[in-house]
A = this chain, B = another copy of it.
Amino acid sequence: MTQSTFPNHLVQSAVAAALAEDLGLAGDITGDAVLSGDETMSGAIRARENGVIAGLPLAIEAFRQLDPKIELTIAMTDGSRVKAGDTVLEIMGNSRRILASERVALNYLCHLSGIASLTAKFVEQVEGTNASICCTRKTLPGLRAFQKYAVRAGGGQNHRYGLDQAILIKDNHIASAGGVAQVLERVKHHASHMVRVEIEVDTLEQLLEVMNYKVDAVLLDNMKPAILREAVELVDGRAITEASGGVNLQSVKEIAKSGVDLISVGALTHSAPVFDLGLDFL
């Protein structure tokens, strides 16, 4: 597993934008109308189901941006496994400010913990095999850095962060360039030495052709477990093997048993349901 270091340099501006999105020009007109501004409250964010936490730095930042004096007791860290009822964060401070930042804090925390928790379920399924679970570029616009981090918090690996981090040659590239030979010849001459090269193959025939060249990884797309097994044998350690397509919590174990190194799952970042957390006031 890649380590789950938080992208701290992105937190401040992301949270400021999220608060601006919720507060608009007029701010929290409910709290402004019904509270005097002097009330204080204390509460706790608690898990309402079992799973894995991710996104605490964003939640904490949301509370602190609206109330620099807020008192927080941080009971869990990102990557912590929690059970329903567990306290994640205790809060004490000005009521108006807490109620104005609560939703942004929870929106981040529930979404990212949802990703971490779903990732953890996939990881659990492949335990005992050679396979790691990884994410894709199928992320929600504006949230990629945090979503990829949440995958790591859940025990998964990150595939490339963007088009700029690694070369991944897909069927359309091969078709446009005129074939595997042409495309890999071009890569040899035009790619930076500091980026990895992965190529997608759909059949064992394509894989055979590809293995005549030096590539870092092969993406075995939409292959049945039995075919995947043959592909892994054919590669024989000369490249990283990645399976993709048709992966879900039911199918992942069989895919993993094929011996592939990696299984990429788009759903981790595009379809993870929210993890249920709530802020209970005392």
Contact = CB atoms under 8 A, between A and B. Distances in A.
Assembly stoichiometry (copies): 6
Contacts of A26: 7, 145, 148, 158, 161, 163-165
Interface in A168-193: 168-170, 172-173, 175-177, 183, 186-187, 189-193
A195 B196 contact: yes
Contacts of A172: 41, 95, 99, 281
B28 A164 contact: yes
Given A34-B186, A103-B138, A159-B194, A20 B27 contact: no
B167 A33 contact: yes
B157 A8 contact: no
Contacts of A137: 22, 103, 107
11 contacts: A10-B25, A18-B141, A25-B145, A28-B163, A29-B163, A34-B173, A99-B173, A111-B270, A141-B143, A195-B196, A266-B274
Given A2-B32, A21-B25, 13 more contacts: A7-B25, A24-B162, A27-B163, A104-B141, A107-B140, A110-B270, A111-B140, A134-B193, A140-B140, A141-B143, A158-B192, A160-B192, A165-B195
